Structure 1
Amino acid sequence: MTKLNSVSDAIIRSIESGALREGDRLPSEGELAAMHGVSVGTIQKALVRLTHSGLITREQGRGTFVSGTRVAPADVRYLRFRDEDGNELPSYVHARSVKRLKKKGPWADFLEGDGYVRIERVINVGGRFDLYSEFWLREDDFAQLGGLDREALEKNLRELIGQRLSLPTLRVDQWIRFGQAPAAAARELGLDADAPAFIMEMRGYTLRDQPLYYQSIYAAPFTERLMIVREKSS
């Protein structure tokens, strides 16, 4: 594990354990460098990474604070990873938008119907890199979910659909490719507009093999070697 990852993981563990709570001020960069035995430059990179993930906020002249948003790891079972040392990396989900659209695309070809709802979310993996998610449902199915607040949108959407609509996901087809990311995804991931992104497409099916949801996950290039954690069947 690199020094940068070690520092990031240590700060994340302090937040998860409650040693650092919402609104708490972190030690200064110099104090953190001494605590972790690394350079101030490494601390600065770690803090930038955690700021981007939404776990901390930095205020000019005041310091660095634990974010006011929830920082507990989300249950994202289909996108779980371990690093080379075998440590499972928690995922932190941040809802970005919910939009009703008539727009056609691969989601429409799969789901069929006339109207759709797109849920856009950013999934930060262990404070190390971001994934951008577009989760599509038929408009009628989304309406039956009832009102969804930010807390609900930042949980496991597959389980939410299963609980509220009694429509469990029986299987998921997964496809991968490289291609151009949507403008919103490119901005979140720091990609140039014409740069290729890694794309994973997932198609969820339910009773009698009927289409239930369509999801696209986008990622910018990253250098870490990660292991995918397989979801155990119940």
Structure 2
Amino acid sequence: MSVHKLENPRRNVADTAEPLGFRPLYRQVKAIFVRRLVDGVWAPGESLPSEGQLATEIGVSQGTVRKALDELAAENLLVRRQGRGTFVAEHDERRILFQFFKLVHDDGERRFPDSTVLGVETGKADESEYVALDLDGEADVIRIRRLRSLDAVPIILETLTLPQRVFPGLEAGPIPNNLYSLFAARYGVTIANARERLKAVALDADEASQLAAPVGTAALRIDRIAFSLDGSPVERRLSICLTKEAHYLSDLR
């Protein structure tokens, strides 16, 4: 079992580096908890020790532990269940739907899309992939191209690029609809957050053919970089989305 203890609350915890300035104690405790998630000490779906146990183990007050856990829960890394305790979040469809899948049908109902894999290949990363995934040297990547549908209607054409060293053997398949769950279960990689860039585009001939729409149809291009718990970029996802019957929904808090 991994045990961390704060011997001097006014020193930064060694688990993560702090650029400048003083970190509140609960942030130092949070860094310890994040390191446990990164190291797999706490696995997805696992119940955490009680706040009192954690406070005694680390050497801080229970209130400090609670504040750290609350912040991780707000970031969707932990789940608080009334009367049952605190659990490590899993990449189930509900979590992905509300945290990472932002395209919503115009009727307002959130639905997890179905996926059809069009192709999987491996090769050297191109320049944009090197930059997006912060790759070194002649890095190999896995590219997955798939079509995603809502109510059997094709709505998204996406290409995922993954560092092969992070996900060895993934290209051998099968490729599940819920990839983030696979990342966590097989490779110990939890997607913590993502950054997206959106741009209006027009469908080219290939995109139009796959999405069964006329060439030149207006679409939304989403360029997403997904990051693991330690802040490493582990997935680039380019999505071409039809928005005739759907819209992009982002809850700002």
Q: TM-score, length-normalised on structure 1? A: 0.54
Partner of residue 158, structure 2: 133
Gaps of 5+ in 2: 1-91
Work out the CA distance in 2 between the residues paired with 1:101 and 1:181. Answer: 26
Is residue 84–residue 227 contact of structure 1 (8 Å, CA) maintained in 2?
no
Partner of residue 173, structure 2: 148
Matches within 5 A, 1:184-203: 184-190=206-212, 197-203=219-225
Aligned-pair CA distance for 1:103: 4.6
Q: State the Cα deviation string for residues 20-75 of structure 1 (Å, max 9, x = none).
A: xxxxxxxxxxxxxxxxxxxxxxxxxxxxxxxxxxxxxxxxxxxxxxxxxxxxxx94
Work out the CA distance in 2 between the residues paired with 1:84 and 1:117. Answer: 33
Match of 1:94 among 113, 116, 131: 116
Gaps of 5+ in 1: 1-73
Aligned-pair CA distance for 1:215: 0.5
Aligned-pair CA distance for 1:183: 5.9
Code of the aligned partner of 1:122:
L
Work out the CA distance in 2 between the residues paired with 1:84 and 1:207. Answer: 33
Aligned-pair CA distance for 1:141: 2.1
Partner of residue 217, structure 1: 239
Seq. identity, %: 14
Code of the aligned partner of 1:214:
R
Code of the aligned partner of 2:119:
S
Match of 2:228 among 186, 200, 206: 206
Highest Rg: 1 or 2? Answer: 2
Partner of residue 115, structure 1: 140
Alignment size in residue pairs: 153
What SS is found at the alignment partner of 1:133?
strand
Q: TM-score, length-normalised on structure 2? A: 0.51
Is residue 80–residue 90 contact of structure 1 (8 Å, CA) maintained in 2?
no
Residues 162 and 182 (structure 1), Cα distance of their counterparts in 2 relative to 1, 3 Å cut: farther
Is residue 144–residue 165 contact of structure 1 (8 Å, CA) maintained in 2?
no
* Two-structure CA RMSD over aligned residues (Å): 3.0
Work out the CA distance in 2 between the residues paired with 1:186 and 1:84. Answer: 21
Residues 186 and 104 (structure 1), Cα distance of their counterparts in 2 relative to 1, 3 Å cut: farther
Work out the CA distance in 1 between the residues paired with 2:167 and 2:210. Answer: 25
Is residue 115–residue 177 contact of structure 2 (8 Å, CA) maintained in 1?
yes
Q: State the Cα deviation string for residues 146-169 of structure 1 (Å, max 9, x = none).
A: 8421xxx13211221121111111
Work out the CA distance in 2 between the residues paired with 1:147 and 1:202. Answer: 24
Q: State the Cα deviation string for residues 116-169 of structure 1 (Å, max 9, x = none).
A: 1100111001234420111110122231548421xxx13211221121111111
Is residue 154–residue 212 contact of structure 2 (8 Å, CA) maintained in 1?
no
Code of the aligned partner of 1:159:
S
